[in-house]
Structure 1
Amino acid sequence: MTGREWRPPAAYVHGLDGPTVVVPARVAAWLERTGNLWELRTRHRGADPEVDSVLVALATAAAIWRQQAGISSDHGTDQRKQPETETGSPLTTTQAAHRLGITDRGVRAAIAAQRLNAQRVGDQWLIDREDLEHFRAGRAA
């Protein structure tokens, strides 16, 4: 699965001995980032070995997805050479629009609708590269 196909919730539930949910790596990265799974994993370490294993598996899948996407897992910064900006710096709406193949206005509309995370700095919006990758994958689905 490329992460671009939409699947119904039932497609992620498997198992004969009891239901098991399969979590795509990009979704694991999103959960880890927005759900603060690192803190959860640290706070409850050792309380339940199965929970520990699942949280470590989610973190591993998230790290692999970030590596394949060229995003550093420690700061959410892109490690690939970026001609239009410094490596690791957030993107402006114009840069994000160029990467997404949409207009600057479309990016600002996604921010306003809270579909794309961004931080307002002065008179411009800055978008983290990992947030942009999640938005891109969500649009493709």
Structure 2
Amino acid sequence: MTYRPPEAYVHGVGAPAVIVPGRVAAWLEQHAGLQRIRIDVRGADPEVDAVLAALRLAALTWRGTACGTTQGNTEEQAPLSADMSTSTAAARLGITERGVRLAITRGRLTAHQVDGRWHITPENLAHYLAARAAA
């Protein structure tokens, strides 16, 4: 992944628009509560409804390609078996388990603990990979 400056995402002069990559749309859904916002403001402004629906579609499409799922919020809907352990994540990332745990404690990789063990969703791993590639 190549880092792009902010102006690369803005298109148009008279009525500028921002291009939002699917991974960013998925991140916004997960971390900024975009689904709740979409529901809360539904019907207030047709253009806002359309843009929020487009963000949702972009997030779902990205999830389908990056994670093999088209479910909305994978943390809420996917069973724990879809989550991976630190050892599985380490193997996929090509780093040690300690490196995975360090990324989690530093807030770079989102994970949740169940019975003292870290669980990482495929989506969170994909976000981490993309952020690492951009750095």
Normalising by the residue count of structure 1, what TM-score does the alignment of the two structures yield? 0.85
Equivalent residue number for residue 50 of structure 2: 53
Equivalent residue number for residue 26 of structure 1: 23
Deviation at 1:18, TM superposition (A): 2.6
CA contact (8 A) 2:23 2:62 kept: yes
Letter in 1 for 2:69: I
Q: CA offsets, 1:102-122, max 9 Å, x none? A: 111111111010011111222
- SS of the residue aligned with 2:127? helix
Q: Distance in 1 between matches of 2:65 and 2:55?
A: 15
Q: Distance in 1 between matches of 2:20 and 2:107?
A: 23
Identical aligned pairs, as a percentage?
51
Equivalent residue number for residue 74 of structure 1: 72
Q: Where in structure 2 are the equivalents of 1:1-141 lying within 5 Å?
A: 4-69=1-66, 70-76=68-74, 88-141=81-134
Report the aligned-residue RMSD. 1.8
Q: Which runs of 5+ in 2 are unaligned?
A: none
Point out the structure with the larger helix share. Answer: 2
Q: CA offsets, 1:34-63, max 9 Å, x none? A: 111111111111101111111000001111
CA contact (8 A) 1:96 1:132 kept: yes
Q: Which runs of 5+ in 1 are unaligned?
A: 78-85
Moved over 6 A (4+): none
Q: Distance in 2 between matches of 1:13 and 1:75?
A: 27
Q: Distance in 2 between matches of 1:10 and 1:75?
A: 29
Q: Distance in 1 between matches of 2:32 and 2:80?
A: 26
Normalising by the residue count of structure 2, what TM-score does the alignment of the two structures yield? 0.88
Letter in 2 for 1:127: I
Paired residues, number: 130
Letter in 2 for 1:61: A
Q: Distance in 1 between matches of 2:125 and 2:69?
A: 11
